[in-house]
Amino acid sequence: MNAYIFPVLNGLGLGMIYFLMAVGLSILFGLLNFVNFAHGAFFLVGAYVCYQVAALTDSFLVSLLVAPFAVALLGWALNRFLLNRVISMSHSAHILITFGIMLVLQELVISAWGPLPRNVRTPEFLQGVLMFGDFVYPRYRLFVLLTSAIVAIVLYMLIVRTKFGALLRAASEEAETVSLLGANVRMLYSVAFALGGWLAGLAGAMAAPLRGVDPAMGMDALAIAFAVVIVGGLGSFSGALVGGLFIGLVQSVMSMLWPEGARLMIYASVAVLLILRPNGLFGRT
């Protein structure tokens, strides 16, 4: 029985990281109808900032606090000085411009830290395993699962129960009306980019001790993030959560049953879902 419980819990932990990666991407599409291919670079930069701060301070917790805010600042700056000028363009232009930004950021990471992978040490108090009778589970994976769940709850409350969330949801439907009512829509967009960056940066920082950091991880994260939002439906918070958990469980369970085909089964399941529900589980037409 334990052989099945571990991959399920592991899949839930992966799924929550995938949710953090993808929910910012989904929010931006729902709010701005903007396809942000630079989102994978937010995950990449978050992981490398985590690595660097942990190396300088010898504290993973400090790096876990600093990295998301550094990426949030990056997201805000990109929108403030570049992306807000291209929002009105076509999706093709969005893809070309943001994919170019991702390549530039990836090359900057290689220039700063080199092309070779690096490891991020798990903090001592999160090393080892917890015993639950005959079942053992790594402390750090449980920390990732619980932290991600808390962030998801806070984010849900922010979007559903606050004035900012109401403006965010209203602007996704009628940005011009929200602007006429006195809201600063441009500032709202900048905050949305910063929030998406913060979430992706947090995901990158928490993933760093699990898989290390390397320049290709941004591309991998982008592919997974789009798989998540396709499963859940573009623009849906609930869809990003369910999609992240679904992809995490598929990857974890298939890694036990068929390790060589785990990544293949992720995209195969996405293809099947697209056939059955072209708009995703919670997506709008």
Average pLDDT, the chain: 87
What kind of fold does domain 2-276 have according to CATH? ABC transporter involved in vitamin B12 uptake, BtuC (1.10.3470)
With a cut of 70, say whether residue 3 has pLDDT above it: no
Q: Among 190, 193, 192, 218, which residue's Cα sits nearest to residue 46?
A: 218
HSE of 171, CA atoms in CB hemisphere, 13 A? 27
Spell out the domain ranges in the chain.
2-276
Report pLDDT for 175: 65
With a cut of 80, say whether residue 33 has pLDDT above it: no
Select the highest-mean-pLDDT range: 44-48, 164-168, 247-251, 267-271. 44-48
Q: Which residue has the higher pLDDT, 239 or 175?
A: 239
With a cut of 80, say whether residue 273 has pLDDT above it: yes
Interval 151-172: pLDDT, tens: 999 998 988 888 887 877 776 6
With a cut of 80, say whether residue 270 has pLDDT above it: yes
Q: Among 252, 194, 186, 225, which residue's Cα sits nearest to residue 32?
A: 186
Q: Which amino acid makes up residue 96?
A: L
Report pLDDT for 247: 93
Q: How far apart are CA 41 and CA 98, in angstroms?
A: 10
The model scores a pTM over 0.85: yes
- The answer to whether 203 and 151 have CB atoms below 8 angstroms apart is no
**How confident is residue 284, by pLDDT bands cut at 50, 70 and 90?**
low
Interval 64-90: pLDDT, tens: 999 999 999 999 999 988 888 888 788
Which contiguous run of DSSP H or E holds residue 138? strand 135-138
